[in-house]
Amino acid sequence: MQCLQALEKISRDQPLACLQAGAIMAVLNFVEFFSISVQRVALSTVVNICKKLPSEGPAPFVEAIPKLCDLLQHEDQQLVESVATCLIKISERMCQSSEMLEELCKHELINQVTHIMNLNSRTTVSQPIYNGLIGLLVKLSSGSFVAFRTLYELNISSTLKDVLSTYDLSHGMSSPHLVDGNCNQVHEVLKLLNELLPTSAGDESNQVVLDKELFLADHPDLLQKFGMDILPMLIQVSSLIFTVEIAVFCPFNSFILHASPIAQVVNSGANIYVCYGCLSVISKLVFLSKSDMLVELLKTANIPSFLAGVFTRKDQHLLMLALQIAEMILQKLSDVFLSSFIKEGVFFAIDALLMPEKCSQVMLPVFSGIQPSFGSSQKSSASEVQQCLCYAFDTVASSSVPPCKLDNDTVCNLAKHIKTNYFAPELFDSEKGMTVILQNLKTFSAALCNLINMPVGDDTPVQHEEKFYSILHQIILKLNGREPVSTFEFIESGIVKSLMHYLSNGLYLRDNEEFNGIYDHLLVLGKRFEVFAKLFLSYSDIPIEDSPLSVLIQKLQSALSSLENFPVIPSHGFRQKNSFATVPNGRCVMYPCFRVRFVRGEGETYLSDYPEDVLTVDPFSSSDAIEGYLWPKIFTKRTENGESDAEALEQMESLPILLPSNANSSQGESSGFVDSKSTDLPEMQEDEANLSQFASEQVRFRESKSGETTMSLDETNMGSAGQERQFPTESTTKLKSQCSASGDNDLEDSSPRLLLYLEGRQLDRTLTLYQVILQQLLNSENEFITWAKLWSRVYTVTYKKAVESKQDDPQKHTCLQRKSSISDKIIAYVQNMAFFSGMFACKLASVLDKSSPTYDILFLLKCLESINKCSFHLMSCERIRAFAEGGIDNLDNLKVMVHSVPQNEFVSSRLTEKLEQQMRDTFTLSTGGMPLWCNELIASCPFLFSFEARSRYFRLAAFGPRRLQLHATSRSNSAASNDRQPTAGGLPRKKFLVWRDRILDSATRMMDLHARHKGLLEVEYNEEVGTGLGPTLEFYTLVSHEFQKSGLGMWREDHSSFITSKTLPVSDSGILRNPFGLFPCPWSPTSDSYNGIQFSEVLKFFVLLGQIVAKAIQDGRVLDVPFSKAFYKLILGQDLSLYDIQSFDPELGRTLLEFQAIVNRKMHLESICVENSTLKLDLCFRNTRIEDLYLDFTLPGYPDYVLSSECNHKMVNLSNLEDYIELVVDATMHTGIARQVEAFKSGFNQVFAIKHLHIFTEEELERLLCGECDFWAFNELLEHIKFDHGYTASSPPIINLLEIIQEFEYAQRRAFLQFVTGAPRLPPGGLASLNPKLTIVRKHSSNCADTELPSVMTCANYLKLPPYSSKERMKEKLLYAITEGQGSFHLS
């Protein structure tokens, strides 16, 4: 052992001498007789020698090859990796000689390597070694025909297929190196595939290449098997790369900004190499395949559609390969693929390459502007940082950078050749060149345009609707017909734009957000949306995936993937490094800062010059924050009340927080990223820094004992203590009233005082400085800039004084406009259709032009999602209208069966992956560090992104990256935390003592003290030893149940559901049970108390509930509170209407809808001047006159709630029925609950701004708050439960337990979950998301196991289960434990 250790040390310094002395064989001859530890030392010696093999001269290491090949079969991973390293180095030394490579292949080396490469192999090696072994096969197959033949015979394609299937885009994002020895594994696989498909190239071909080609020609079955395995995976990988267009930042600490227009974004980074490699292999595969084989091969993938996608890229190398593939396919199989090339748009793409002026955004939006980028600046920039793609997969690296093989004419010449030889001249005629489907769709599109332009008279609306329905029906039949419609045909037909234009009545293209004649617009919109809903949602006899709406959504998603080009901006080369940001608050940050020179605008006399030259500015700061820093230093004029400049400056510097805060909340995220180690700031400076937080940090006020108002700032994301300052009450009185009920906490006067300009363009106040600079660079003309230069260059920001303008109160303006433009008789209808106006007034993405096809697709998807979400609303409107017009006679026929499509149908996998990719980037420290499109699309079209992606974005926007990282590990770390020890993410944990018999009182005290704190809250119960995750989760469950008890005056009382369940613990008795969920109880504005309950107390309960809900979401806790869907809509800031009542009170909602149908019929009869006693009978409610119902103007179920005191509102009759409906709806959904909802929001906003939740739907918010309530399959239990310490998945007690769990009733399952985890529901994501993983271990005892009870450690989700003798005994003991073991935490 000592000799080997000495030899190992010598081999480090003198490897050549050891080699010449025969040390390799001396070590290897006896290695099998050593222990594992000695063998490792011996192989380390061989590794040291092989790493320094001489490039020339004799090769004494050759005799060691058989021994090394045998050792590859060893079971020890470290040993195998050492052997593999030796063989990799030997192959590098021998790769210049075919004879020496043949020698390597004689000893079963290839068999051993392919066995290790198999993903199911028992022998696992590290990623670098795995990549090195693939590289070894590359060298062998390149120079050895034997190796080439052996790999085919060993079915290497199956193994490589599995490797490619694991590819994900993070490979291309994470590695800063592309073509050196540390290439990622997919790049190595593509090298191997290129070597396994040899193509002779004139004089460069040698005998080995010719032998390989002859072998494939003689064995077409092997080539076909190879192609069937590889081709689908290559197309999948390439398509995945096109899904996420990696833009802007290139490797080697540089990036290319080449975006004019914005759609032209360079696809750079490692992924473009992978894409080029895939296309290169496909090209060789097509070249080597004969016609009959190629037909079978191309059946595995839609190659024309794939090529059409490649033609939307900008790189000339990719375009050239795509053209070569297209030419070879047309040469061999022109009769088979010519029509599909036309159908999928390949022909039009080739034509667009030659005549880009012919390809306009309107006619050919898919291929507009796809000219290859040949600019010299791009070439020079690319050559400085990376090798040309032409040489990316050469096995022999070049010492110098060779020139590109392509020139300006190569691509165009090949495109011209294909067009001339394979496409008939008549195809160039715009009509004849279209497929029949495309012509039909264009005809339908034109018919819709004619409907839009047709004047609508009094007698034509019905005809319009019938024509619209007919055209829509034909479009759907065509889209869902036997012959598929390609994405190209769908886009080129213009159907999307025509549908949007007709459906929105032209509103979605208008710039102004207010519409003249709003009632007329909404009336038209309502009818058109009803027709749309009737066609798309009335199919009940077909599967959801085949429904018209699903088919249209799928087409739109495919079109969106083809057209959109939103950039992902990775920050290769970014490393966390301390820097000091002078602006806006003078603090250390862990990322680079911009260098900015502030200059007074030309002609500006009110403000002075800024004295300093260049300042460092936090890139995530907003315009408001910059203004807050600049204003005191450049303000020179005297104030209106005669204060001096010095006094004004002193006053303003003492009020750094009183700045406009109307920017996005994302601007303030960077405040949480201060380096916790930087404690050298002076105390006063740190105080100022804390006070000048960004806009997202909330300001709160409370009355002090001295009568003054104390304002204190929320803690930062790190949980540091907030600073407090005293201000006179006069200056904050108005602010206090606003903050108490608003989450925005904006100042009364939020108008900007400065106008800031960057290079002549005014800064958008909703963006961070980073986003502004990034957007301007993206829009610049061919500007190339390195990552380092981005931060080193000096930006000039010009400032001017903003022109003061008095702005009307928008709410008051809206109310006045409504009163002046809408009569009282139609207010209800407008409210019911209000979501239309908001839909068309919203802004999708500022980076998109409204004439862009992508804009049309996004808007149509938004409309379809709204139709799907409001399907009950729209279908009910249609039924009521049919009843009013006599199409329906029976009120029972008003019932609608809605067949909505699942919400995930609207999710764009392409955009979701882009967002996920952006959030994974190390520089995405806040939403202000993301491209602008991310924030805008999340706000306007959140349905495009998966729930998981939006959840991550929500946590980043609301809490910052520390909370985002902590969320995944907080549950596992909870058990080990203590009161004063902060978590790894910098968030301290705060313990709070709780009394079980005073849960609500304890919750109130907890929220009073800690609602605004950013630390994690944990609970311990009085006189109990348990603390941590389990008790905390149980506390939130207990609080949830307390809020559901009767007598609080919070919820609509349903006395029939007041039960005491025998199956649940006693503490659950008295809980209000409503199968449709809880909704606030209406309180009359004139009533202060009811049945001894004070309304002021009710408001306090709602404030507390808001705090609890927000804190649970912030800390990732699960609540057990069944809110109704309508209440979730209120939380999300959505308006409620008559149609929402049925969701929480079906009987009342159904009755009001029937009343509304009678009112509408009465209005219809009056409009056509019908006086007929028979028809008047139709105005009865189920054969009873309205007057005979003896309804008075009180709220149903609440006799003390008087709806109206007017003289004509005593009893309900036909003439005032409409008023009655409006008053009941208003009392139920608006006036009667408005104060409670505002109280809830005010409590919520004390924790974080409730507006962050607006990106979720009602169902998703319930999932976020209350977790999952799913049923578990046996396989799922096995997959997500860990068995340890005496138990395995096949242990009889475990099998019995899993069967018992599956047999549990719903209440028993909830009780079991609460017993094990502390909460009766699983977190979002279900059992798979439970962290720590549910673990079941064997409980040992000295007594008989049947007498023992199971016990748990809830903080670790750890169940100790005795090995009971039978399933019945286990179930008995388990039920006893989960029933009687609730309500306390003690040592187990």
User: CA 762, 766, 769, 770 torsion: positive or negative?
Assistant: negative
H helices present in 1284-1334, as ranges:
1292-1303, 1306-1317
**Residue 184, SS3 per DSSP:** coil
Six-digit token string for 1062: 């025998």
CA–CA separation, 617 vs 580, rounded Å? 8
DSSP string, 376-421: HHHHHHHHHHS--GGGTT-SSPPSS-PPPS--TTHHHHHHHHHHHH
Nearest CA-CA partner of 342 in 424, 265, 404: 424
φ/ψ bin of 451: left (φ > 0), alpha (ψ from -120 to 50), beta (otherwise): alpha
> For strand 587-589 and strand 579-581, is the pairing parallel, antiparallel, or unpaired?
antiparallel
Q: DSSP letter string over 448-465? A: HHHHHHS---TT-HHHHH
CA-nearest of 689, 1314, 682, 1283 to 1035 is 1314
The alpha carbon torsion through 1356, 1357, 1360, 1361 (nearest 10 deg) reads -170
How many whole angstroms separate alpha carbon 577 and alpha carbon 147?
Answer: 49
Query: How many Cβ atoms from other residues are within 10 Å of residue 1334's Cβ?
Result: 20
Instruction: Return the ∠ at Cα 439 (arms to 438 and 442), rounded to 5°.
Output: 85
Residues 1332, 356: Cα–Cα separation, whole Å: 58
The residues that bridge with 588 in the sheet, in sequence order, are 580
Tell me the one-letter amino acid at 269.
G
Q: Smallest Cα–Cα separation from 989: which of 1030, 1029, 1044?
A: 1029
Decide if 1336 contacts 1281 (C-beta within 8 A). Answer: yes
Instruction: State which H helix or E strand residue 474 sits in.
Output: helix 461-479
Judge whether 1355 counts as a catalytic residue: yes
| C-alpha span between 907 and 896 (Å, rounded) | 27
Cβ-contact 1222, 828 below 8 angstroms? yes
User: Which residues touch 270 (CB under 8 Å, ≥6 apart)?
Assistant: 171, 172, 173, 175, 178, 184, 187, 251
Question: What distance in Å separates the CA atoms of residue 690 and residue 1091, rounded to the nearest whole number?
Answer: 48
Rounded distance, CA 180 to CA 194, Å? 18
Sequence-distant (6+) residues with CB within 8 A of 89 are 50, 51, 53
Place of tokens 């498909």: 197
How far is CA 472 from its chain centroid? 32
How many other C-beta atoms are found inside a 10 Å radius of the C-beta of residue 599? 14
User: What six digits make up the tokens of 1284?
Assistant: 């340890």
Stated as kind and residue range, the H or E segment containing 216 is helix 207-218
Distance, in Å, from the CA atom of 1386 to the CA atom of 1388, rounded to the nearest integer, reads 6
What are the helix (H) ranges across 311-375? 316-343, 346-354
**Which class for 1027: exposed (0-12), middle (13-18), buried (19 or more C-beta within 10 A)?**
buried
The span from the CA of 271 to the CA of 237, in Å, is 10
Local structure of residue 707 (DSSP, 8 states): S
Rounded Cα gap, residues 641 and 646, in angstroms: 14
In which element (H, E) is residue 1194 found? Answer: strand 1194-1195
Beta carbons within 8 Å of 368's beta carbon, 6+ residues apart: 352, 356, 359, 360, 361
- List residues with catalytic annotation: 1355
